[in-house]
Amino acid sequence: MRRSNARKGLWLATLAATVWVAGPGSEGADSESSGPALTLFFIGNRMSEIEPCGCKENQLGGVQFEATLYAEVPAARSLRVDAGAWTSLALNPERSMRTRYALRAMGGLLDLDAVNVGQPDLEQGPDFFEDVGAKHPEAIARLVSANIYLKAEPGRLAFPAWRMVEKTIDGEQPLRVAIAGTAAPLDKTSKAAQFRTRRFEADYVIGSAADALNEILPEMKAGADLTVALFHGTWPETVELARAVPGLDLLVSTSRPPTVETGPILEGGVRILSVHNAEGKELGRAELRRGADGWTVVGQPVWLPISPQRLVADVAALQLLKEFRANTEELIVQAPRNPTRTYAGAQYCGICHVREYQDWVKTPHFHALDTLIAKGSQYDAKCLQCHTLGFQKDNGFYNVNESRSMGGVQCETCHGPGYEHAAKQNLVRNGSVNAMNPEDRARFLADLKRLNPPSRVEAGTCLQCHTPENDAHFDYDLKIRKVNHEISPPG
Ligand code: HEC
Ligand code: HEC
Ligand code: HEC
Ligand code: HEC
């Protein structure tokens, strides 16, 4: 049967009649006349992001600003949940370290009530959870999942299925909220699946979310005033789950419906709220109220931009981010002993191309590594790939201690590796070529022409770094004039 749009429409219409928009700081005129109200903050799909890179102003995100939004409502009157996928799919030491700090933030200073474990999150593997848990118990203490099992011990859950939290709204009885976690097993035919590794299958089994929820729901309901399930999966899976667990009050999903922009959506008697954005850029907020027929969402949920421009940074979070940056030093990669020499480095090029060199020094590309040093991000592999030359390739940049001369966006970033060109031109320059016998010399000179680096730089080269994320309005025709060595008059 298809989703009943008529019913949904009716419900939305009913809702519209009683709507007041719940924005931050806005006071509901009817707040005193109704039953207890609870502010729900919901987020998900962090993908290891704890703070934007800072390449561009106005970038959204950052746990230091997320913390500020939570602070607008006392913890006792708010529910804070993460619906999962706080790990990015790229598994490397830098991403794992970011994930570790994301967990520490969620369990520590952000003080979330529950954090769901999604399928991508399992990719980190049991050793990761064990290690984080041993060093920072608070970081994993709020993880919940009712349908992720340990492969080695059939039937045994890898995380607590659900947790109960108590809230105290002024002048009311304590309010008990039961929050369960659920994940969709990886649909191997889905588009998303092709981007995902399946390392998790070695250690975990994901069972049916609906079966697991139905099994624990009576127990959850017995002690709780409100039951919530967090879910990581696609939108169709979200709807399917809601219909399969009619007794549940609220489902918070990492996926959003394809058509309806706001919400909540009612399916099978369950209200669904959706995370709208990824990488920790927006925080969902909804006002929940208990009336005569149970819980409702008052008005429309809102998705608050986590905006550095509008919010004041939380000091404790800044401290955590500082610690993160200091810890990235652990990610240092040693330069190989005898690397293949494909890069010459700007200083070498500059011996002959003096004018181009002097112009380049005046561009921000020259000091791109210094920018990272100033921020304390000089060990962060995520940043270095765009702020250095030949990151972890051949004799390119490896680390700030050993390969400082390959720092910044250099000549060879745009013109391609040029060691051979430089070395051979040097033989011309120092006269060695004149000592060659005519045959060798002819071959050498033919080679020399072939090795000339292309001077024209295509837009695609710039766009590798000037991505929409890092430079939203990059205009090749405009910006090329700032890097084509015409800053100084031709000499
Ligand atoms: C995909 C490539 C890319 C990555 C990855 C990247 N940057 Fe950048 N960064 C850029 C580009 C391009 C600019 C210039 C943007 C502009 O001016 O419009 C920039 C500019 C900056 C600036 C502003 C410089 C200034 O003075 O205006 C800072 C700060 C910065 N990046 C820090 C970082 C940090 C920290 C990281 C890692 C967390 C990082 N970047 C990762 C490409 C990148
Ligand atoms: C020892 C001197 C020397 C060094 C070092 C050197 N070049 Fe050259 N380069 C030349 C000469 C001479 C030419 C002109 C060759 C010709 O006209 O055939 C040239 C040509 C070029 C061109 C093509 C210019 C055009 O008009 O098409 C580019 C681009 C270039 N070099 C970039 C570089 C880069 C990048 C480096 C460093 C990796 C570098 N060069 C190092 C001497 C040098
Ligand atoms: C390897 C990555 C990389 C490539 C490739 C790259 N840039 Fe950049 N670009 C950067 C970074 C990083 C900065 C910021 C440097 C800083 O301020 O620390 C930057 C800054 C700039 C700036 C100054 C800021 C602005 O937007 O006005 C201009 C102009 C620019 N790039 C133009 C270009 C053009 C044009 C190309 C292609 C021909 C190009 N870049 C290729 C990384 C790159
Ligand atoms: C951000 C990209 C970028 C960087 C970095 C860069 N160049 Fe260029 N270079 C260009 C562009 C664009 C042109 C002009 C191409 C054209 O004529 O269409 C150019 C042209 C040249 C030419 C041809 C002669 C001329 O001046 O027009 C040489 C030689 C050259 N660059 C050498 C260098 C050297 C040496 C460095 C490093 C010190 C360097 N370039 C760094 C983009 C870059």
Range from 114-128, 167-181, 236-250, 432-446 carrying the lowest mean pLDDT: 167-181
Residue 433 inside a domain? The answer is no
Which CATH number characterizes residue 380's domain?
Answer: 1.10.1130.10
Query: In terms of domains, do 213 and 348 share one?
Result: no
CA 42 / ligand 1 centre spacing (Å): 29
The distance in angstroms from the start CA to the end CA of the chain is 76
Instruction: Tell me if 476 sits within 8 A of 462, measured CB to CB.
Output: yes
Residue 16 inside a domain? The answer is yes
At position 24, the amino acid (one-letter code) is: P
Confidence of residue 196 (pLDDT cuts 50, 70, 90): low
Query: In terms of domains, do 372 and 306 share one?
Result: no
3-state secondary structure 237-306: HHHHHHHHCCCCCEEEECCCCCCCCCCCEEECCEEEEECCCCCCCEEEEEEEEEECCEEEEEEEEEEEEC
Residues 6+ apart with CB under 8 A from 238: 231, 251, 253, 255, 272, 274
Out of 327, 362, 386, a domain closes at 327
Residue 353 inside a domain? The answer is yes
Query: What are the tokens at 133?
Result: 């848990």
Protein residue with its CA nearest to atom 37 in ligand 4: 411
C-alpha triplet 456, 459, 462: angle, nearest 5°: 100
Query: In terms of domains, do 93 and 202 share one?
Result: yes
Residue 355 inside a domain? The answer is yes
Q: How many domains does the chain divide into?
A: 2
Protein residue with its CA nearest to atom 19 in ligand 1: 55
What is the mean pLDDT of the segment spanning 77-92? 93
How far apart CA 124 and CA 4 sit, in angstroms, is: 40
What is the mean pLDDT of the segment spanning 285-303? 90
What is the mean pLDDT of the segment spanning 229-252? 96
Query: In terms of domains, do 300 and 369 share one?
Result: no
Query: In terms of domains, do 14 and 150 share one?
Result: yes
CA 350 / ligand 2 centre spacing (Å): 9
What is the mean pLDDT of the segment spanning 229-234? 96
Query: In terms of domains, do 125 and 213 share one?
Result: yes
How far apart CA 194 and CA 38 sit, in angstroms, is: 39
Sheet order of strands, 114-116 included: 143-144, 114-116, 78-82, 37-43, 282-291, 294-305
Query: In terms of domains, do 132 and 176 share one?
Result: yes
Instruction: Give the range of the structural domain holding residue 105, as residue numbers without chain letter.
Output: 5-327
CA 444 / ligand 2 centre spacing (Å): 15
Instruction: Tell me if 397 sits within 8 A of 404, measured CB to CB.
Output: no
Query: In terms of domains, do 102 and 130 share one?
Result: yes
Quick one: which of 83, 155, 81, 141 has its CA closest to 108? Answer: 141
Query: What are the tokens at 147?
Result: 């349908």
How far apart CA 47 and CA 163 sit, in angstroms, is: 23
Query: In terms of domains, do 353 and 391 share one?
Result: yes
* Residue that wins the pLDDT comparison between 2 and 203: 203
Ligand having the closest approach to the CA of 346: 4
Instruction: Tell me if 179 sits within 8 A of 230, measured CB to CB.
Output: yes
Any atom of ligand 2 within 6 Å of the Cβ of 288: no
Query: In terms of domains, do 457 and 384 share one?
Result: yes
How far apart CA 121 and CA 137 sit, in angstroms, is: 17
Query: In terms of domains, do 272 and 387 share one?
Result: no
Inter-axis angle of helices 63-70 and 315-327, to 10 degrees?
A: 160
Residue 444 inside a domain? The answer is no
| Best of 342, 343, 349 for a ligand 2 pocket test (most atoms within 8 Å of beta carbon) | 349
Q: Report CA-CA distances (Å) from 137 to 23, 103, 412.
A: 34, 10, 47
- What pLDDT is recorded for position 27? 36
Residue 489 inside a domain? The answer is no
Which atom of ligand 2 has the smallest separation from the CA of 448?
A: 18
C-alpha triplet 67, 234, 151: angle, nearest 5°: 90
Protein residue with its CA nearest to atom 2 in ligand 4: 414
Q: Could you report the per-residue pLDDT of 124-138, keeping only the tens digit for each?
A: 999 999 999 999 999
Residue 56 inside a domain? The answer is yes
Helix, strand, coil proportions of the chain in percent (round to 5)? 40, 15, 45
Q: Could you report the per-residue pLDDT of 1-46, keeping only the tens digit for each?
A: 333 333 333 333 333 333 333 333 333 334 444 667 899 999 999 9
Query: In terms of domains, do 385 and 294 share one?
Result: no
Which CATH number characterizes residue 154's domain?
Answer: 3.60.21.10
Any atom of ligand 1 within 6 Å of the Cβ of 15: no
Residue 424 inside a domain? The answer is no
Out of 303, 327, 351, a domain closes at 327
Out of 327, 361, 384, a domain closes at 327
Q: Could you report the per-residue pLDDT of 255-282, keeping only the tens digit for each?
A: 999 886 666 788 888 999 999 989 999 9
Protein residue with its CA nearest to atom 40 in ligand 4: 411
Any atom of ligand 1 within 6 Å of the Cβ of 190: no
CA 55 / ligand 1 centre spacing (Å): 3
